[in-house]
Structure 1
Amino acid sequence: MKLQAVSNRKLYIQIADQIRDQIHAGAVEPGRQLPSERDLAQNLGVSRPTVREALIALEVAGLVEVRVGVGAFVRKPDTPDDGLPEQSASPLEIMAVRRLLEPEVAALATQSISPEGTARLGEAIRWMRTESQAGNWSSESDRMLHMTLADACGNAVLRDMLDGLWNSRRDKVDTRFHQHLADIGDVRAHILADHEAIVGAVVSGNAEGARTAMARHLQYVADAMLDAWE
C-alpha cells in the first residue's frame, strides 16, 4: 500500500516553496517581474489572497521585492540562506479572528473603561496622529489602542485571546504585510479616522457605536489587505 505523506505546512508557505523552486531553477531571473497574482492563482489553483501571503513570505526570505500597485520582482538573495518563515501565522486568518472578537471587545470596554484606560486611549490617538502627519505608522501605537480596549473589556479570556493575536502580528510576514498598507497615505488617514471614531464611542459609553466603529475599521483593513496591490 502506497501512501503519500500529509503536509501540515500552511498553504501559503507551500505556494511560496513552489515559487522559490522556480526562481532557483532560473524560470525568472533577478530583476524580472513574476507573473501577476491572478495568473499565479489560476496556475496554482489557489486564491489570490493565498498567493499574496506567499509573495510576502518570499519577500521576507529575501527572494522577491513586492511593489504595491505594480507586482513582485525577483531579487538576488543577499545570503545563501533564503529559508521561508515557516512559523509565521497567516495575516488573513489573524484578521478573520480579530473581526469576530474585537467589535464585542470594544462594546464591552464602554461599560468598564477606567480613567487610566481612557488616558491611554488618548495617548494612543495622539501618537497615531503624530506618526500619520510624519508619513509613518507603527504597530506599537496600534497595539496600544486595541489592547487598552482588551484590558478594559472585563473578560480575561477575551483579553488573553487578543494578546495572542497581537503577538502573532509580530511575526515577520504579518509585520511586512501591514507595513505595505501603512506606506499608503490614504490607508493611514482612513485608519486614523477609524481609530478616532472607535475611541470617541468608547469614551462616551456608546456600546453599539463602539461595536459598529470597530467592525467597520476591521472590515476596511481586511479589504485593504486584498485590494491595495496590483
Structure 2
Amino acid sequence: MFVALEPRRLYRQAAEQLRTLIEAGEVRPGERLPAERELAERLGVSRPTIREALIVLEVEGLIQIRMGSGVYVSARSNRQPEILAADDSDGPFEILQARCLIESAIAEEAARKADSESIAKLNSILAEMEGSLDDSHQALALDRAFHTAIADMIGNSALNRFTGLIYDKRLSPYFTKLASYFEGPHTWKAALEEHKIIRDALAAGNPADAREAMRQHLTLSQKRFSESFGEEPTRND
C-alpha cells in the first residue's frame, strides 16, 4: 500500500516505499514496475522524483532500467543488494535547480566584470570542449571549468569555490547513473552551443542577456535529464 509522502528528500522516501514493495514480493523478479506516471500519481510526487528514486534502486541493484521498455525488478541472487544509507544527499534535479538560480545571478554580475583576458579563457575552454564531445569525462571537466571561470570573473574566491562545490555534487552515484542514460555527444553539443550564447553575452558586457542565457542553459539541462525511462511518451510535469 502506498502512502502520500512528506516534502523532505522525497526521492529517498519514494525509493524506500518502492523498495518495500519489491521486497514484499508485490512485484516479482523479472516483472516490470508500473509506469512512471502511475507511480508518481500513487505516491503523490512528480515524475522527476520517481526518476531519482528509481536511480537509487538501480544503484543498489534492486532494479534494471531498460530505456524504451520500462523498469524491471532484478533477478534474485545469493548476494543481498547493498542498501544505501538513507542520507540527506541532494537529488539531481534539486542540484540543477539550485545551480540555475545561483549561476544565473553569477553570470549577471560576471558580465559587469568581464575583460578580454577572461573572455579569452572561456574561448580556450570552448575550443577544447568542441574537440571532446565524444569523451564524457573530458567534456564534464571542461564544463566545470567553463562555469567556474565565469564565477572567477567576479574576483570572489569564496564564490568561485562555492560554484565548484555545487557543480561537484553532480558526481554523486545517483547523478552519475542518471547521466549514463541521458548524457552523450548530442547533449554535450547542445551544452556547447548554449555555452557560446553565454560567452557572447558576457563578451558584450550585457548583464541581462548573460543572466537569461545561463538560466536558459541550466533549464535546458534539467529538461535533458527529464526524459522517461518507460514506454509512454514524455510529457512535462
TM-score class normalised by the smaller sequence = 0.7 to 0.9
Question: Are the structure 2 counterparts of residues 111 and 175 from structure 1 closer, same or farther at C-alpha, using a change threshold of 3 Å?
Answer: same
Gaps of 5+ in 1: 1-6
The 8 Å contact of residues 61 and 85 in structure 1, kept in 2 or not, is answered as no
The 8 Å contact of residues 36 and 228 in structure 2, kept in 1 or not, is answered as no
Question: In the alignment, which residue of structure 1 is the partner of 2:50?
Answer: 51
Structural mapping, 1:109-148, within 5 Å: 109-113=110-114, 117-132=118-133, 134=134, 136=136, 138-148=139-149
Question: Are the structure 2 counterparts of residues 74 and 227 from structure 1 closer, same or farther at C-alpha, using a change threshold of 3 Å?
Answer: same
Measured against aligned partners, the alpha-carbon deviations of 1:137-189 in whole angstroms (never above 9, x if no partner) come to 64222211111111222344543432331132221112222332213x54333
Question: In the alignment, which residue of structure 1 is the partner of 2:83?
Answer: 83
Question: Are the structure 2 counterparts of residues 128 and 39 from structure 1 closer, same or farther at C-alpha, using a change threshold of 3 Å?
Answer: same
The alignment of Structure 1 onto Structure 2 pairs a total of residues equal to 222
C-alpha distance in 1 between matches for 2:85 and 2:40? 21
The 8 Å contact of residues 89 and 171 in structure 1, kept in 2 or not, is answered as no
Question: Are the structure 2 counterparts of residues 136 and 94 from structure 1 closer, same or farther at C-alpha, using a change threshold of 3 Å?
Answer: closer
Question: Are the structure 2 counterparts of residues 176 and 211 from structure 1 closer, same or farther at C-alpha, using a change threshold of 3 Å?
Answer: same
Instruction: Give the counterpart letter for 2:163 in structure 1.
Output: L
Gaps of 5+ in 2: 1-5, 231-237
Moved more, 95-104 or 154-163: 154-163
Structural mapping, 1:69-218, within 5 Å: 69-76=68-75, 79-84=79-84, 86-87=86-87, 88-113=89-114, 117-132=118-133, 134=134, 136=136, 138-183=139-184, 186-218=186-218
Correspondence 1:37 to 2:13: no
Instruction: Give the counterpart letter for 2:219 in structure 1.
Output: Q
Instruction: Give the counterpart letter for 1:54 in structure 2.
Output: A
Question: Are the structure 2 counterparts of residues 201 and 9 from structure 1 closer, same or farther at C-alpha, using a change threshold of 3 Å?
Answer: closer
Instruction: Give the counterpart letter for 2:29 in structure 1.
Output: P
C-alpha distance in 1 between matches for 2:67 and 2:115? 41
Q: Which stretches of structure 1, 4 residues or longer, exceed 6 Å deviation after superposition?
A: none
Q: How well do the aligned residues superpose, as a CA RMSD in angstroms?
A: 2.7
Question: Are the structure 2 counterparts of residues 45 and 200 from structure 1 closer, same or farther at C-alpha, using a change threshold of 3 Å?
Answer: same
Question: In the alignment, which residue of structure 2 is the partner of 1:221?
Answer: 221
Question: What SS does the corresponding residue of 1:153 show, helix, strand or coil?
Answer: coil
C-alpha distance in 1 between matches for 2:44 and 2:72? 21
The 8 Å contact of residues 85 and 172 in structure 1, kept in 2 or not, is answered as no
Question: In the alignment, which residue of structure 1 is the partner of 2:3?
Answer: none
C-alpha distance in 2 between matches for 1:118 and 1:62? 45
Moved more, 113-122 or 194-203: 113-122
C-alpha distance in 2 between matches for 1:74 and 1:29? 7
Question: Are the structure 2 counterparts of residues 102 and 9 from structure 1 closer, same or farther at C-alpha, using a change threshold of 3 Å?
Answer: closer
Question: Are the structure 2 counterparts of residues 168 and 77 from structure 1 closer, same or farther at C-alpha, using a change threshold of 3 Å?
Answer: farther
Instruction: Give the counterpart letter for 2:197 in structure 1.
Output: A
Question: In the alignment, which residue of structure 2 is the partner of 1:3?
Answer: none
The 8 Å contact of residues 181 and 228 in structure 1, kept in 2 or not, is answered as no
Identity %: 34
